Every structure is written in structure tokens, then in C-alpha cells.
Structure 1
Amino acid sequence: MDDSPESHQLSLPFVQTIRRTGPPSLARALHDGVILSKGKWVICMDSDGNHRPHDLEQLILKIRPDTAGWLVAQRTHYLDPQYTWAHRLFSWFLNTLIQAVCNLPTRDNTFGLFAAPSSELHQLPFKKIFSGHGEYYFRLLSFAHQKNFPLIGVDAIHGIRALGGSDNQPLKRFFSYLTTLLRHYYSLRANLYA
């Protein structure tokens, strides 16, 4: 996690926290955590407390010795009362667009809660994935899908945000994600025909 006043208030004996002291960056914090992770599976939750512990628990319980694929949490609906209608509409439309453009089997590609076999995760081009804000997530899933790693949807619901504030400029975030999505699409096309 990025070094912040909130991070110093957390006391989680069952979680090893890694505090970054560089410039704040969601994607870089996740990158550093993935690099330093140990074990056969990497479980990633990219939030400031708005993923429910129950959903994380359900994700962990689905990991079995015979699990073949990535477990990708997906919102079951877009009616979270803490967000405006504009935010919900942009989120739904963006996820639908990402699914179509990247040809992904998952319907929610911005939620940021997943579990992946470490051996598969470390085959991906981290330098092309972990930058920006939440855009890293659809790039991650897109590259995983290109490698033919199965992406298995697991139902989840947004929890009430525990830290920080909600994005109060959904239109700005939407166009930022859209620009990144188009760049990613053209990058994939260029590599396909190179």
C-alpha cells in the first residue's frame, strides 16, 4: 500500500503489509506487492476498503488444488447506493465496452479483486500492465486472456467505502479509461500484425 496516514492506522496481524514511500500510485503499489508476494496463488484487492471481507473470503475458499484458472470478482449489479447514477452508468458502459474490445469472458473488468496462480501471473508483461490508476486491471485481464489463462467470474458486491473518497468526476475517469482502452486495443492490433 502507499504510505499514508490511513495506512498507519491499520493493524492486520494476518496480513503482511508492504508500505511504499514513493509517489502515490495504485498500480505501482500493486506491482510491488505482486513482485514481493510468496506462495502458489496471488490474491489482489486494489481498494481503499470498499471490497467486502466476505467477498475476499469467498474468493479464497474457491481456491482448491484442482482450480484451473483465475478467479475474477464481478459485481452482480451496478446499483451501489454510494455512487451517483452517472457513475453507475459510466461504470456499466465502460465494462461492457472493455469486454467487447478486449474480447474478455468476464463482464466486470474494473472491479480489482482477483486470485491468480503465481506461476501464470508472473508470465505477464508487468511493465505494460502496472501504470496509471485502475486501468491496470483490464490490461492485466486482457494479457491473461491472450495467454489463454481461464478467467472464472465470481459474484461480488461493492461494500461501503472505508477509506478515502469516491471518485467525484466519473466523466473524467470514464474518458481516461476510454483513452487507455483504445491505446491498449491498438497496441494489441499492432503486435498481432507485426
Structure 2
Amino acid sequence: MRDLETARSVVRTIAGLAGGTLDIVAPTTLAVDPLADLAGAFRRRHPAIDIVIVEPPNAAAVADVVRTGECELGLADVRTHGKAVETLELCRQEVLVVVPRSDRFPQVGPVALGEVARMDLVAVVPLVLAGVGATLLPRSLAEEAARRGAVALVTRPRLVRPVWLMCRRGPLSPAAQAFIEVAREVFARPVAASPEDDEH
């Protein structure tokens, strides 16, 4: 069905990206950063394309959602090796630990990873602000949490995660191809696929 929709999209857009939908799967933190900026840049260039962002049941499911054709593109912080999916590294994000502003947590960094492992970890910033625990976030989101009253600390050693853009091997819709080109331009460096990888 995805291949049929791709063929229809090619026919519809021979003269340009005149319409259609682009489905992208991404975990919440990657949907906020970097996908939000990428989607904005794409929509400014191709306003007739609707973007649908889908949250996977878990981070490991992104590759499966792309592989099966449920979504044409995906963002993940884990590289998937396989003959069915191509992976392109977009960027690397520094990850900070975000803690409540209280005596229970250190207020200056860096914080040793062993100490982070002993913290009560939670999934969302409101729980951090309420003093329930700590969370790990990319720098841009951690700094936003700090503006809301939390404390953002670097770790020792520093945590850095890659961000991968995934697509199925084979023909892509014009919208997906255009999104990949926008992503390359935004991050201002060429990225290469990994055809030699084995199925993961």
C-alpha cells in the first residue's frame, strides 16, 4: 500500500510538490528537537504537503514502523541495521540531566553518571518541577526546563546521542525525498546510507 501511495504521489507531483501527505514517526523528544524545526523548514518550502507525526509505542519500534511502510520516514536515537531500512545520521545531541531545584540534588555540574543512575528518573518535566525525580533531555529541552524552574546539569562523562533519519530502501515519494534534502541543508553536511548493513 505504501508503494502504491508513493506511485500516486509521483504522478500527482510531476510538476512539483502540489499536495499529499508525509508520515513521520518519532519519539516525543525527537519530535520536539530536531523534528519541529525540520518540519517548519519543510512546510515553508512545501506548504501544500501535510505532515503527520506519529509517536511510536517505544523508541525501538521506529524502525519497524518505517520498515512496514506505516510511516515513510522516522527519527530515532538508535541506528537500525538492515537491508530494508536506510539510516542517515543528522546530528548529535548533548543530553543533560534535569533535576528539581532542591537540597536533594546537586545544583552544580558536572554530575557523574553513577550518581545519575541512583536518581529516581521520571519521564516528564512537570514531575521534575514537582520534585518527584530527575530526567534526561537533549540540551535544548533541558534549558527550557531550567527556564521553568528546574536545574539542568551536564554529566561526566558527557552524554551525546546521535539522531538518525530512517527511510525504506527503494522509491520514496517526492515529499519524502524533499524532506531528506531539507534535512541535509538544515544540518549543512552530506549524510550517507549504509547499504552493507545486515538486518537488525
| Class of the TM-score when normalised by the shorter of the 2 chains | under 0.3
TM-score normalized with structure 2 length: 0.24
TM-score in terms of structure 1 length: 0.24
* Bigger share in strand: 2
Whichever structure has more helix as a proportion of its residues is: 1
Q: Which protein is bigger by CA-based radius of gyration?
A: 2
